[in-house]
Chain A
Amino acid sequence: GENVEQHPSTLSVQEGDSAVIKCTYSDSASNYFPWYKQELGKRPQLIIDIRSNVGEKKDQRIAVTLNKTAKHFSLHITETQPEDSAVYFCAASRQAGTALIFGKGTTLSVSS
């Protein structure tokens, strides 16, 4: 089955800096790669996703890149703000019909 590795487990940045979180996956048939943000005491929520036919996707300060050959994808947050502090999870799924398999999460702390 699919296995998703995520690094780093913790990340501390200063407000305004950029943050990068990286994930690798094992199943070459995976074609959907979402990122979730979980704030303390709340449920995980989707912030951005990318499909296998796209190499990069941006949404304001957030971007995701995908390298299918190397089987890795990354989340980039620019101009970080304190409200970006949360746990971020990457995930992968093979196709519609299979559940998302998540990485172990990255705790991002943005200090002002």
Chain B
Amino acid sequence: ETGVTQTPRHLVMGMTNKKSLKCEQHLGHNAMYWYKQSAKKPLELMFVYNFKEQTENNSVPSRFSPECPNSSHLFLHLHTLQPEDSALYLCASRYLAGEGNEQFFGPGTRLTVL
């Protein structure tokens, strides 16, 4: 599938590093999301962007910083992470129209914080 892509697919970083995750959607969608998937909370919503504007931030620590420069791209900037932040980070997108439309996920970035 190439509808929603994410890079990198795997990332190992130390607690003092700064890195960024990238998501790109080629579906003409106008809403994009970041989810965190871990054993403890399987699909936890982190950030919501509708029409490039952040509309939700689900009490996410400030060491995670999202950026949405346009409706096709979404970034998650990471700095001074903790080992408990190790997880699969999934990007998703959706077209906002009518009464609910399919949300597509990217393949995820497997993040390990040492």
Contact = CB atoms under 8 A, between A and B. Distances in A.
Q: Which of B33, B45, B48, B107 has the most CB of A within 10 A?
A: B45
A45 interface: yes
B34 to A, nearest CB: 10
Q: What interface size band does chain A fall in? A: 20 to 34
A88 to B, nearest CB: 11
B84 interface: no
Contact of A105 (B43, B56, B98): B43
B60 interface: no
Given A43-B90, A43-B108, A45-B105, A101 B99 contact: no
**Which 9 A/B pairs are nearest by Cβ-Cβ distance?**
A32-B100, A102-B43, A43-B105, A105-B42, A96-B96, A99-B48, A99-B33, A44-B105, A46-B102
Given A95-B99, A98-B48, 17 more contacts: A32-B100, A34-B100, A43-B1, A43-B106, A44-B43, A45-B105, A46-B103, A52-B99, A89-B43, A91-B43, A96-B97, A96-B99, A96-B100, A97-B96, A98-B56, A99-B94, A102-B43
